[in-house]
Amino acid sequence: MRLLLIEDERELADALSGALSKHGIVTDHTTHLADAFELTRQNSYDAILLDRRLPDGEGLSFIPMLRRTGTDTPIIVLTARNEPLERVEGLDVGADDYLGKPFLVDELMARLRAVLRRPPSLTELQISVGRMAIDPLHLSVTVESIPLDLPRRELLVLVALAKRKDKTVLRSTLEAAVYNYEEEIQSNALDAHISRLRKRLLDAGAGIAIHNIRGVGYLLKEE
Amino acid sequence: MRLLLIEDERELADALSGALSKHGIVTDHTTHLADAFELTRQNSYDAILLDRRLPDGEGLSFIPMLRRTGTDTPIIVLTARNEPLERVEGLDVGADDYLGKPFLVDELMARLRAVLRRPPSLTELQISVGRMAIDPLHLSVTVESIPLDLPRRELLVLVALAKRKDKTVLRSTLEAAVYNYEEEIQSNALDAHISRLRKRLLDAGAGIAIHNIRGVGYLLKEE
DNA sequence: CCGCGAAGATTGCGGCAGCATTACGGGGAC
DNA sequence: GTCCCCGTAATGCTGCCGCAATCTTCGCGG
């Protein structure tokens, strides 16, 4: 396993590299964002550890840059800036985890494992379809910048479909997205939600269509 | 390595779990098909050991169910029903091996190794043929990024063929992919599906051809 | 090269499963 | 109370899909 560590405090960086190597992890280290960007282009990392305060800028700005190149390498932010709001900020720009300094190496390892266990994140921060923008993290929806508020269940259906726009989403997947295990469902509730959602999207002029694939599921695409 | 054992005889199940654990194999055990299906959705198994006679139905019916979700985890059927015709039956619905009770654990291990030695995963995340991309896990199909929705049975046929593109797929294999154990078929329904599928693919300009291998099966390739 | 039988291809038809829509009412939020 | 979400169920409809009839292709033997 190979990590990229972006951290300007030499001592911490060395200590961390040493600790990780005991777990059989190879670590590349750099102190500047510019170098980091170059390194990610030349190598393939299993994960990236990122400090926020860096000599040539705010570490977080690195995340959208990287994501824009289509890279979905997990990123864990390591920083002294550990206020709740700052954590939200970090996760919302696309970090996979956020760990405040000081931290135990054991906790870092555990979070690393957790992050690597996940399937490569399909979760974009912002999905746009038709005249519509959907933020799956905050569960908010806008049509041409005008917020559209939808009932909870319809919203969940929409997000589940939007995350895989232009691809079929199985019925069972949708049910799993909207209902948890306790909530039984013994009618066509899902169909009803789809129907009502369609009507609302039409009224709002969202410019998207939800197609049914008989016996399989549904598919969302621009109309 | 992790296995799923579907077996209602408690004693046999316990003995087997114990024996397998000595080979470093982790075994999940369940006695009912319904639970088994849930488990396969939540976990990823290297192989599945399946009894035929189960409290909630014929074990074999589980195989098409599972295959239909796009899972091609190897399945070994373990059963007292060990007549030649019954073995054919089992293998034809999509089992990878069929082992009659009683059996030696050593033989099971050998068969397991054999099954796992086969092409690591037929389950690519994305299969591309001609101008077409197929996602066998999510059962979605696109032609030059434009989603193509197909009826369920035609879709299943296409996916089964695409997974083994450029290779002949036996008629019986296709039938197993499309029909479950209960559903009898006494006409040329499969041929009809192939025919309608060909037409749809042509209309969509998919750039692929489905050839017939007389008396054997079908073969999908770029045209 | 021709003829024949078997396998496959195609297509219309009809039944019915699955979906869309909508009205209704319980229930929670305010 | 009032509003609205949301599960339920009734209704109507679409189009999938099994069937079978008919036509075409293939491979073999003479």
CATH number of the CATH domain containing A24 = 3.40.50.2300
Give the torsion through C-alpha atoms of B144, B145, B151, B153, to 10 deg.
80
Name the pLDDT band for A207 (thresholds 50, 70, 90). very high
Do the domain assignments include residue A122? no
User: How much is the pLDDT for A107?
Assistant: 76
User: How much is the pLDDT for A142?
Assistant: 93
Token pair of B56 as six digits: 């909630």
Q: Kindly state whether residues B113 and B23 are assigned to the same domain.
A: yes
| B74: CB partners within 8 A, 6+ apart | B46, B47, B48, B96, B97, B115, B116, B118
Name the pLDDT band for B120 (thresholds 50, 70, 90). very low
Q: Which residue of B has its CA nearest to A220?
A: B147
User: Are B76 and B47 in contact, with CB atoms under 8 Å apart?
Assistant: yes
| B77: CB partners within 8 A, 6+ apart | B50, B51, B52, B59, B60, B90, B95, B97, B98, B99
User: How much is the pLDDT for B119?
Assistant: 44
Of the residues A72, A117, A165, A168, the best mutation for testing chain B's interface (the one with the most B CB atoms within 10 Å of its CB) is A168
Q: Is the pLDDT of residue B122 over 50?
A: no
Q: Kindly state whether residues B6 and B112 are assigned to the same domain.
A: yes
Residue of least CA–C1' distance to C17: A215
Do the domain assignments include residue B106? yes
The tally of domains found in chain B comes to 2
Of the residues B44, B135, B139, B196, the best mutation for testing chain A's interface (the one with the most A CB atoms within 10 Å of its CB) is B139
| B82: CB partners within 8 A, 6+ apart | B100, B101
Q: Kindly state whether residues A97 and A13 are assigned to the same domain.
A: yes
Q: Report the pLDDT averaged over residues A63-73.
A: 78
Give nearest nucleotide to B216 (CA–C1'): C7
Name the pLDDT band for A45 (thresholds 50, 70, 90). confident
Residue A50 CB coordination number (10 Å): 25
Do the domain assignments include residue B122? no
Using one digit for the tens of pLDDT, what is the confidence trace for A91-126? 777 777 788 888 878 778 767 776 665 555 445 668
Give which of A139, A142, A145 is closest to A157, Cα–Cα.
A139
User: How much is the pLDDT for A114?
Assistant: 60
Q: What percent of chain B has pLDDT over 90?
A: 21
User: How much is the pLDDT for B81?
Assistant: 79
B151–A166 C-beta distance less than 8 A: no
Q: Kindly state whether residues A109 and A148 are assigned to the same domain.
A: no
Q: Is the pLDDT of residue B88 over 80?
A: no
Any alpha helices (H) in chain B, and if so which ranges? 10-21, 33-42, 62-68, 84-92, 105-117, 152-163, 171-178, 189-204
Q: Kindly state whether residues B40 and B92 are assigned to the same domain.
A: yes
For A65, the domain range is 2-117
Q: What percent of chain A has pLDDT over 70?
A: 88
* Residue B139 in contact with partner chain A when CB distance is under 8 A: yes
Q: Is residue A52 classed as helix, strand or coil in its secondary structure? A: coil
Q: What percent of chain A has pLDDT over 90?
A: 34
Q: Kindly state whether residues A12 and A111 are assigned to the same domain.
A: yes
Of A81 and A94, more confident: A81
User: How much is the pLDDT for A210?
Assistant: 95
Give the residue from A88, A117, A146 where a domain finishes.
Answer: A117
Q: Kindly state whether residues B15 and B94 are assigned to the same domain.
A: yes
Give nucleotides in strand D with any atom < 7 A to a protein C-beta.
4-10, 15-21, 26-27
Q: Is the pLDDT of residue B123 over 60?
A: no
Q: What is the largest CA-CA distance in chain A?
A: 61
Å from A174 to nearest chain B CA? 12
User: How much is the pLDDT for A65?
Assistant: 84
Q: Report the pLDDT averaged over residues B50-78.
A: 83
Give nearest nucleotide to A190 (CA–C1'): D7
Lowest mean per-residue pLDDT among A114-118, A137-141, A215-219, B9-13: A114-118
Q: Kindly state whether residues B63 and B141 are assigned to the same domain.
A: no
Highest mean pLDDT among A161-170, B12-21, B179-188: A161-170
Q: Is the pLDDT of residue B8 over 80?
A: yes
How many Å from the CA of A134 to C1' of C10? Answer: 46
Residue type, B152: R
Q: Kindly state whether residues A138 and A109 are assigned to the same domain.
A: no
Do the domain assignments include residue A19? yes
| Mean pLDDT estimate for chain A | 83
User: How much is the pLDDT for B197?
Assistant: 95
| Mean pLDDT estimate for chain B | 80
Give the residue from B85, B117, B149 where a domain finishes.
Answer: B117
Distance CA B195, CA A24 (A): 55
Å from B155 to nearest chain A CA? 9
* Residue A219 in contact with partner chain B when CB distance is under 8 A: yes
Q: Please report, for the domain that includes residue A176, its CATH number.
A: 1.10.10.10
Q: Is the pLDDT of residue B211 over 60?
A: yes
Of B124 and A16, more confident: A16
Residue A65 CB coordination number (10 Å): 14
Q: Report the pLDDT averaged over residues A63-72.
A: 77
Q: Kindly state whether residues B94 and B182 are assigned to the same domain.
A: no
Give the residue from B117, B139, B172 where a domain finishes.
Answer: B117
User: How much is the pLDDT for A122?
Assistant: 47
How, if at all, do strands B217-222 and B208-213 pair?
Answer: antiparallel
Distance CA A201, CA A211 (A): 13
In this structure, is the dihedral angle defined by the CA atoms of residues B162, B37, B87 and B100, taken in order, positive or negative? positive
User: How much is the pLDDT for A19?
Assistant: 85
B131 touches strand C (CB under 7 A): no
Q: Kindly state whether residues B148 and B201 are assigned to the same domain.
A: yes
Give nearest nucleotide to B199 (CA–C1'): C10
A180 touches strand D (CB under 7 A): no
Of A151 and B69, more confident: A151
Do the domain assignments include residue B138? yes
Length of chain B: 223
Using one digit for the tens of pLDDT, what is the confidence trace for A148-182? 999 988 998 998 899 888 888 888 778 877 775 55
Q: Kindly state whether residues B95 and B135 are assigned to the same domain.
A: no
Do the domain assignments include residue A15? yes
Do the domain assignments include residue B209? yes
Which residue in B139, B147, B152 is closest to A214 by CB distance? B152
Which residue in A166, A170, A215 is closest to B147 by CB distance? A166
A192 touches strand C (CB under 7 A): yes
